[in-house]
């Protein structure tokens, strides 16, 4: 069993850390939010007053932070220099591949091991321990991390060298945004024509429109009891985080001169929705933008 430091205990990190504890690991967590720290304590974890305090005697550090800026700030030269040699760093945040590669290069130069291991599966997957991990990094580091990742997830993929996990993740999230918007558009159209959103969703789930948004994350309130739409779009994957991921996909497109017309449209829709005060709501709330209500 490992001594794990967990930095970033939000909607995803909190339940991921709880699963590590459940599987017998010792977890010391740090978050800027007092509430997140209390939740970790109630799950049987220890808390620290800073990221460094949590990390300095750990064998493994896992970070689950909002963006590349937070990850680069955490893994500073000073921070990495104080870690035990051979500490395994696993960054599961969704960030740009350039930052992922640069922090990994720094960590490796200081005698640590590092992989990028962003996840898919949402808060439901984080709670159930069924996340998909998409790893970028050396084969040996991927193999070392696998048993730890298995405590939080079901499918563990090795996408390639450092940064490859992040590239695969943003391709996935661009597709997720597109099918969430498409699903919302279709349900909204049906409802405007008098259809019951539950029945329409069932029909499309068994037809060629079937997709993950319909199957586990229905954007229409009341259709799926456990989906964020049925709790006023709270506690899921924030609009601002989706807009960030779509921005990363757009940048990746520019870098390689690749056209991503639907991804760019999705980015613009999520930006407008964020600018009108919905940045903290779950990304499935885009249905409310499409139906013109503008409030949830």
Catalytic residue among 110, 169, 210, 280: 169
Nearest to 10 by CA among 248, 240, 277: 240
Nearest to 145 by CA among 110, 101, 112: 112
Q: Is 36 in the site for ligand NAD (CB under 6 A)?
A: yes
Query: Of 41-49, 60-68, 136-144, 176-184, which segment contacts ligand NAD by CB under 6 A?
Result: 60-68
Tokens of 267: 């980015």
C-alpha to C-alpha distance for 105 and 98, rounded to whole angstroms: 11
Tokens of 228: 């964020």
Tokens of 193: 């024509």
Residues 116-135 that bind ligand NAD (CB under 6 A): 119, 122-123
Query: Of 20-28, 29-37, 150-158, 246-254, which segment contacts ligand NAD by CB under 6 A?
Result: 29-37
Query: Of 30-38, 98-106, 133-141, 149-157, which segment contacts ligand NAD by CB under 6 A?
Result: 30-38
Q: By three-state DSSP, how is residue 60 classified? A: strand
Q: Pick one of 70, 113, 158, 179: the residue that binds ligand NAD (CB under 6 A).
A: 70
Neighbours of 16 (CB within 10 A): 27
Q: Is 281 in the site for ligand NAD (CB under 6 A)?
A: no
Q: Is 219 in the site for ligand NAD (CB under 6 A)?
A: no
Shortest distance (Å) from residue 67 CB to ligand NAD:
6
Residues in the interface with ligand NAD (CB under 6 A) total: 26
Q: Is 237 in the site for ligand NAD (CB under 6 A)?
A: yes
Rg over alpha carbons for the chain, rounded to the nearest Å, is 19
Burial of residue 293 (CB within 10 Å: 0-12, 13-18, 19+) is: exposed
Q: Is 75 in the site for ligand NAD (CB under 6 A)?
A: no
Residue 169 annotated to the active site: yes
C-alpha to C-alpha distance for 208 and 187, rounded to whole angstroms: 14
Q: Pick one of 19, 28, 47, 94: the residue that binds ligand NAD (CB under 6 A).
A: 94
From residue 197, give the alpha-carbon distance in Å to each of 121, 157, 272.
Answer: 23, 35, 25
Q: In the complex with ligand NAD, which residue's Cβ is closer, 71 or 204?
A: 71
Closest-by-Cβ residue to ligand NAD is: 10
Q: Pick one of 39, 65, 83, 249: the residue that binds ligand NAD (CB under 6 A).
A: 65
C-alpha to C-alpha distance for 135 and 169, rounded to whole angstroms: 9
Residues that bind ligand NAD in the complex, under the rule CB under 6 A: 7-13, 30-33, 36, 51, 64-66, 70, 93-94, 119, 122-123, 236-237, 241, 245
User: Which amino acids are annotated catalytic?
Assistant: 169
């Amino acid at each position: 069993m490992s001594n794990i430091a967990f930095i970033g205990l939000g909607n995803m990190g909190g339940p991921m850390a709880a699963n590590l504890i459940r599987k017998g690991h010792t977890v010391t967590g740090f978050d800027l939010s007092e509430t997140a720290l209390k939740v970790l304590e109630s799950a049987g974890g220890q808390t620290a007053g800073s990221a460094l305090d949590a990390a300095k005697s750990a064998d493994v550090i896992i970070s689950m932070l909002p963006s590349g800026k937070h990850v680069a700030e955490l893994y500073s030269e000073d921070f990495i220099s104080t870690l035990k040699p051979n500490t395994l760093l696993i960054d599961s945040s969704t960030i740009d591949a350039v930052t992922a590669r640069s922090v990994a290069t720094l960590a490796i130069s200081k005698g640590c091991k590092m992989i990028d291991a962003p996840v898919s599966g949402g808060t439901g997957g984080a709670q159930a321990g069924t996340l998909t991990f998409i790893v970028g990094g050396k084969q040996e580091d991927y193999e070392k991390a696998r048993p730890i990742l298995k405590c939080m997830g079901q499918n563990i993929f090795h996408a390639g060298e450092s940064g490859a996990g992040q590239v695969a993740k943003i391709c996935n999230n661009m597709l997720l945004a597109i099918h969430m918007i498409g699903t919302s558009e279709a349900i909204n159209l049906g409802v405007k024509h008098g259809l019951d959103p539950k029945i329409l969703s069932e029909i499309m789930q068994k037809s060629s429109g079937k997709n993950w948004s319909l199957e586990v994350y229905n954007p229409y309130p009341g259709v799926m009891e456990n989906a964020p739409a049925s709790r006023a779009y709270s506690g899921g994957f924030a609009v601002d985080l989706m807009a960030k991921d779509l921005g990363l996909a757009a940048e990746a497109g520019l870098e390689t001169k690749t056209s991503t017309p639907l991804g760019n449209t999705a980015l613009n829709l999520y930006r407008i929705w964020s600018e009108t005060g919905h940045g903290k709501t779950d990304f499935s709330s885009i249905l409310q933008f499409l139906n013109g209500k503008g409030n949830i």
